């Protein structure tokens, strides 16, 4: 698996639309249009946006002006947490209105499960119907626990194509990801670098592996995600870092060193954002 991994590699999704294994996150991007343009030039083919990020239109503009065939690029957006439920349909129409002429969303997620069980079911039903109607190509969820996804199944609805949660060596989401893997749900990792330049980058094991492979701490963490079959979404507005984060295909972390990284897991306590298992 690992030696053949490259920037064009994709993972299957149950929607039938394979997803590129490396994406650019644009949360709090200061200039999403420029960052997306740089990422596409560097070979990225996956961009992750959201209504909450307030840059969906910029992302669409960058994608459509890139000169790259649209079907080669995979773009995700998300319905804002406050709009999951009865307001999902209206929020989706707003999301669609941000697109440039001829553009589409390859994947739309419910951003969070925080509005309660009925809202989750109602919002999910709306996305499923939108996919069937051809408004979006695939539908998924973000920050959903295994319990939250099982609620959708118990309501007679199809499984999400993907679940996006915080994931890195210190927060490996083992229960959630085991459920997703069992049921054929793709697993996407936000905050794969934690907070870039923070304690993770100076951790002795990360430093050791960086020296071993002549790679930066960020590159070690991204490669770790890729070898876990997660879809990492590193965010950057820095041209050099965007390119560096994609330069992770000329080395492989050994099984022994992957096990050492796995041993860093602190469960939910290792999260730097929040843990979906705590949401009722």
CA distance 234 to 46: 11
Distances (CA, A) of 188 to 77, 150, 260, 261: 13, 18, 22, 18
Torsion angle defined by CA atoms of residues 174, 203, 210 and 12, in that order, rounded to the nearest 10 degrees: 20
What b/e sequence results for 222-238 when a residue is b if at least 16 CB atoms lie within 10 Å of its CB, and e otherwise? bbbbbbbebbbbbbbee
Structure tokens at 110: 């419910």
Structure tokens at 98: 């941000």
Cα angle at 161 between 157 and 73, to 5 degrees?
Answer: 140
Q: How many H helices and E strands in the chain?
A: 11, 10
Please say if 249 is a catalytic residue: no
CA distance 25 to 4: 24
Secondary structure letter of residue 100 according to DSSP? P
CA distance 226 to 232: 7
Task: Give the active site residue among 27, 44, 53, 249.
Answer: 53
CB 107 within 8 A of CB 161: yes
Q: Which residues are catalytic?
A: 53
């Amino acid at each position: 698996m690992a030696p053949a991994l490259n920037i064009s590699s994709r993972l299957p999704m149950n929607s039938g639309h394979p997803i590129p294994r490396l994406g650019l996150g644009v949360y709090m991007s200061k200039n999403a249009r420029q960052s997306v343009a740089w990422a596409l030039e560097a070979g990225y083919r996956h961009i992750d946006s959201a209504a909450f990020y307030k840059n969906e239109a910029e992302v669409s503009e960058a994608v459509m002006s890139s000169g790259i065939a649209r079907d080669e690029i995979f773009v995700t957006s998300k319905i804002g947490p406050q709009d999951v439920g009865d307001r999902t349909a209206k929020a989706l129409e707003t999301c669609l209105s941000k697109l440039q002429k001829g553009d589409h969303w390859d994947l739309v997620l419910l951003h969070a499960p925080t509005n309660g069980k009925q809202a989750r079911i109602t919002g999910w039903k709306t996305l499923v119907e939108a996919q069937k109607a051809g408004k979006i190509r695939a539908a998924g969820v973000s920050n959903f626990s295994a319990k939250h996804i099982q609620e959708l199944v118990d309501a007679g609805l199809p499984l999400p194509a993907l679940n996006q949660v915080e994931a890195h060596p210190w927060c490996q989401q083992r229960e959630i990801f085991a459920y997703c893997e069992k049921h054929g749900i793709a697993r996407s990792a936000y905050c794969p670098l934690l907070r870039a330049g923070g304690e993770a980058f100076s951790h002795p094991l990360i430093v050791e592996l960086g020296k071993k492979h002549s790679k930066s701490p960020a590159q070690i963490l991204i490669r770790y995600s890729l070898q876990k079959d997660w879809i990492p979404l590193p965010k950057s507005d820095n041209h050099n870092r965007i390119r560096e984060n994609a330069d992770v295909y000329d080395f492989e972390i050994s099984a022994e060193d992957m096990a050492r990284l796995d041993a860093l897991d602190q469960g939910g306590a290792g999260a730097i954002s929040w843990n979906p298992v705590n949401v009722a």
